[in-house]
A = this chain, B = another copy of it.
Amino acid sequence: MLTISRETDYAARVILHLALQPTGSRSTARQIAELRIIPRALVRRIVTRLATAGLITTARGGDGGITLARPPTEITLLEVVEALEGPVALNICTVEPNICPLMPACTVHEAWVDIRDTLRANLARITFAALAQKGGASSPDTTAR
């Protein structure tokens, strides 16, 4: 199945959660895990990767926690995906053309590149500000039940 990993899906939930919090406030990994229904230890790992990608800022210690590093208007789905998955390649030949023995002559290559490019563009078009606006709720249970 051509799909992102579950970890990437979780990462999107994490960023969305943060985007829904009041600006500047911190959330803890524990809170996010419970509210967004993600295994706690996985949130830790995801937070690490999002932090090294520069999407979030973390603070250790007693009153520590996690915050978006930028306003949600400037964080896109593409960034989250690539932070977790690495490049959106679609086919490896778009990233490492040398790996393909047919390469300079391959006519499929162009197609992979084109489709990959518009896929990336579409992922980049979605900001977490837009996603946050859609669902008014600040946590999944606020409206339900």
Binding site for B on A (CB under 8 A): 1-4, 6, 8-9, 12-13, 16, 36-37, 77, 81, 85-93, 95, 100-102, 104-108, 110-111, 114-115, 118-119, 122-123, 126, 131-132, 134-135, 137, 140, 143-144
B-chain residues with CB within 8 Å of residue A1 when the two chains form the complex: 85-87, 89, 92, 95
Residue of B nearest to A111 (CB): B126
**Are the CB atoms of A105 and B4 closer together than 8 Å?**
no
A24 to chain B, nearest CB (A): 22
Select one of B8, B36, B100, B110 contacting A102, CB under 8 A: B36
**Are the CB atoms of B143 and A89 closer together than 8 Å?**
no
